[in-house]
Structure 1
């Protein structure tokens, strides 16, 4: 059985033009990138690594969706 979880990702731009993403429900889980496309991949990876670190590797992050 596949388990789905949703996370709120806050995306901002820093003073150097990078996109910065913070996952609201996962303290300390954040990443940055030059493009939004690259940021989405990095967010997926950051969430997966976070879940593995806290002992939840069975949850696989397959995709990141953006809702505005």
Structure 2
């Protein structure tokens, strides 16, 4: 299973004038990074998720189970 099968929440913030990116499957990671364009936000989100996974593994912490949304 790919380690990148986690939900990435991407939301526009008028207050910050950018997209905010968070990972709801990881405790305390509601807003982890941002991007001023959609494309940059996605790129930054992928990099942040990869870094988060590396940090968990370096500490010997178990990765949370990814939540899977079912589309009907």
The TM-score with structure 2 as length reference comes to 0.63
Listed as ranges, the gaps of 5+ residues in structure 1 are 57-68
Match of 1:7 in 2: 6
* Structure with the larger RCO, 1 or 2 (CA within 8 Å, 6+ apart): 2
Q: How many residues align?
A: 54
Match of 2:39 in 1: 37
The TM-score with structure 1 as length reference comes to 0.67
1:6-54, Cα deviation, whole Å (9 max, x unpaired)? 2112221221320001111123441101001001111111011001101
Runs of 4+ in structure 1 displaced over 2 angstroms? Answer: none
